[in-house]
Amino acid sequence: MTKVALGMLVGISLFGGCASGVVEQRGSVVMSPDSVKAFAAGPAVVHAYSLDGGGRVFVAPVKSGTDSDCAGRTEASAGATAVAVDRRNVVTLGAGQVACVATNNGRKYELMWHARPATTPSGMILAAQTRR
DSSP count for the chain of H helices, then E strands? 3, 8
| pLDDT per position as a tens digit, 74-126 | 665 567 888 899 999 999 999 999 999 998 778 899 999 999 987 754 444 44
pLDDT at 22 over 80: no
Rounded Cα–Cα distance for residues 76 and 73 (Å): 9
Band (130; pLDDT cuts 50, 70, 90): low
Q: Which helix (H) or strand (E) holds 99?
A: strand 97-103
Structural domains of the chain sorted by starting position, each given as residue range(s) with its CATH number in brackets = 23-117 (2.60.120.10)
State the DSSP H helix or E strand holding residue 19, giving kind and residue range, or none if neither. Answer: helix 3-19
Per-residue pLDDT tens digits for 47-63: 999 998 888 999 999 98
Better-scored residue on pLDDT, 42 or 75: 42
What backbone phi and psi angles, to 5 degrees, belong to 102? -130, 150
Mean pLDDT across the chain, nearest whole number? 76
Q: Does the pLDDT at position 41 exceed 60? A: yes
DSSP 25-52: EEEEEEE-SSEEEEEEESSEEEEEE-SS
- Residue 92 C-alpha from the chain's centroid: 9
